[in-house]
Amino acid sequence: MDIRIFPNHEAMTAAAADAVAGVITRKPDALICLAAGHTPVDLMKRLVVHAREGKFPKDRFRFISLDEWVGLGPKDSGSCIHDVGKYFLDDMGLERGARMFFFDGLAKDMQAQIDGAKAFLAAHGPIDVIVLGIGMNGHIGFNEVGSAFDSDVRVLPLDETSKTVGAKYFDTPRTLESGITIGMRQILEAKKAFLLASSAKKADIVRQALKDPPTERVPASVLQKHPAATAFLDAGAAAKLNG
Residues annotated as catalytic (active site), given as ranges: 67, 137, 139, 144
Query: Is residue 35 part of the contact set for ligand F6R (CB under 6 A)?
Result: yes
- Strands 178-181 vs 67-69: parallel, antiparallel or unpaired: antiparallel
Q: Which is nearer to ligand F6R, 125 or 135 (by Cβ)?
A: 135
CB of 56 to ligand F6R, least distance (A): 22
> What residues between 79 and 98 interact with ligand F6R by CB under 6 A?
80
DSSP string across 2-22: EEEEESSHHHHHHHHHHHHHH
How many Cβ atoms sit within 10 Å of the Cβ of residue 123?
A: 10
**Ordered alpha helix ranges (H), the chain:** 9-26, 41-52, 80-84, 90-92, 110-124, 160-166, 184-189, 203-211
Is the CB of 105 or the CB of 125 nearer to ligand F6R?
Answer: 105
Contact present, 144 and 219 (Cβ < 8 Å): yes
For the CB of residue 66, give the shortest distance to ligand F6R in the complex, in Å. Answer: 5
Q: Which of residues 96-155 bind ligand F6R (CB under 6 A)?
A: 133-135, 139-141
Residue ranges in contact with ligand F6R by CB under 6 A = 35-39, 66-67, 80, 133-135, 139-141
